[in-house]
């Protein structure tokens, strides 16, 4: 499934255009205790936007390949690394910071994950410790929900086909709505879209 996700990201990389910005984050394990692994890059901007020459095209192709290389590196951590937890909430707060820095552009957030938050507070696998009623409202009051206004969310790797999976999906739908983002059912998927592109307008 990871390979399918990486292939999907490779396809999205081929769609990057002049002036686009890309940030790739590895999911945190527990808060900010582990090292924040990320990579950012800007696609080149032609000197004359009205005339794209061969040099401009070559620079764009090179930067697209750099994105693909970064995906491979961040999706394959060193063998010694053991992942005992998955802290999606902290990762999404970091995502909100990066998105804020480029808020003048349309934002697409692709999450390759089973979407099972797994920390001492919340354990979504088999719905062992789901967030309590009112948890999200309290997070909003504390300013702990990221600001992602207008962002299109695409999830690949989640399983909404079980009762537990439906509960997990419902949580994330509510969470992203509170963040100002859009997560439509078609974008909460087990496998990447057959079209090879994000279902975002």
| Residue 199 resides in a domain | no
pLDDT at 28: 84
Domain-located, residue 197: no
Any domain includes 133: yes
Residue 201, in any domain of the structure: no
What whole-number percentage of the chain has pLDDT above 90? 69
Is 200 domain-assigned? no
**Domain for residue 28, yes or no?**
yes
The pLDDT confidence band at residue 74, using thresholds 50, 70 and 90, is: confident
pLDDT of 174 > 70? The answer is yes
Cα-trace Rg, the chain: 18
Residue 112 lies in a domain: yes
Look at residue 22 and give its three-state secondary structure. strand
Judge whether residue 33 has pLDDT over 70. no
Q: Which residue has the higher pLDDT, 199 or 14?
A: 14
**How many domains does one find in the chain?**
1
Q: What pLDDT does residue 34 have?
A: 61
Parent domain of 15: 2-189
Give the phi and the psi of residue 118 in degrees, each rounded to 5: -140, 95
**Residue 80 reports pLDDT greater than 60:** no
Lowest-pLDDT range of 30-44, 128-142, 173-187: 30-44
Measured in degrees and rounded to the nearest 5, phi and psi for residue 119 equal -140, 180
Residue 77: count other Cβ atoms within 10 Å of its Cβ.
12
- pLDDT confidence tier of residue 78, bands split at 50, 70 and 90: low
* Residue 139 belongs to some domain of the structure: yes
């Amino acid at each position: 499934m990871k390979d399918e996700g990486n292939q999907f990201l490779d396809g999205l990389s081929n769609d990057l255009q002049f002036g686009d910005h890309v940030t790739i984050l590895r999911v945190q394990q527990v808060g900010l205790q582990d090292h924040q692994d990320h990579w950012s890059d800007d696609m080149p901007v032609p000197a004359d936007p009205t005339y794209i020459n061969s040099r401009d095209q070559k620079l764009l192709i090179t930067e697209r390949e750099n994105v693909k290389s970064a995906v491979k590196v961040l999706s394959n951590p060193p063998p010694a690394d053991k992942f005992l937890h998955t802290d999606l909430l902290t990762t999404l707060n970091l995502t909100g910071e990066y998105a804020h820095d480029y808020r003048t552009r349309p934002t697409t957030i692709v999450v390759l994950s089973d979407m099972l938050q797994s920390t001492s507070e919340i354990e979504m696998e088999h719905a062992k410790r789901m967030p309590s009623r009112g948890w999200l409202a309290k997070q909003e009051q504390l300013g702990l929900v990221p600001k992602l206004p207008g962002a299109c969310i695409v999830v690949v790797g989640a399983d909404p086909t079980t009762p537990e999976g439906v509960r997990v999906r419902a949580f994330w739908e509510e969470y992203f709505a509170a963040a100002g983002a859009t997560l439509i059912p078609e974008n909460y998927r087990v496998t990447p879209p057959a079209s090879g592109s994000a279902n975002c307008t």
